[in-house]
């Protein structure tokens, strides 16, 4: 269910996460809605490109809750 922001408008929440690339060393970024009903149609090499795509689709992303293996080489890192 969308939440209501302090400005009184409805906002949808999304989570940005990284995913390991199997064909090469490294990872890509994807997003999905908090309710799991929608996710990014593509993967992004840069976090900010993924963030911009989620925002363009009407989602608000909590910048402090990125999930996944965010460092090259697979070091796990979770911000929340």
- Whose CA is closest to 16, among 35, 29, 1? 29
User: pLDDT of 9-56, one tens digit each?
Assistant: 557 999 888 888 887 778 899 999 999 999 999 999 988 899 999 999
72 token code pair? 């090259």
Predicted pLDDT at 11: 78
- The domain locations on the chain are 14-71
Q: How many CB atoms lie within 10 A of CB 50?
A: 24
């Amino acid at each position: 269910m969308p939440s209501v922001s302090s400005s009184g408008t409805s906002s949808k929440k999304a989570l940005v996460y990284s995913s390991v690339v199997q064909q090469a060393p490294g990872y890509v970024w994807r997003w999905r809605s908090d309710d799991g009903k929608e996710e990014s149609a593509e993967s992004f090499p840069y976090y900010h490109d993924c963030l911009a795509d989620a925002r363009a689709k009407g989602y608000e992303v909590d910048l402090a809750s990125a999930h996944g293996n965010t460092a090259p080489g697979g070091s796990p890192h979770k911000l929340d």
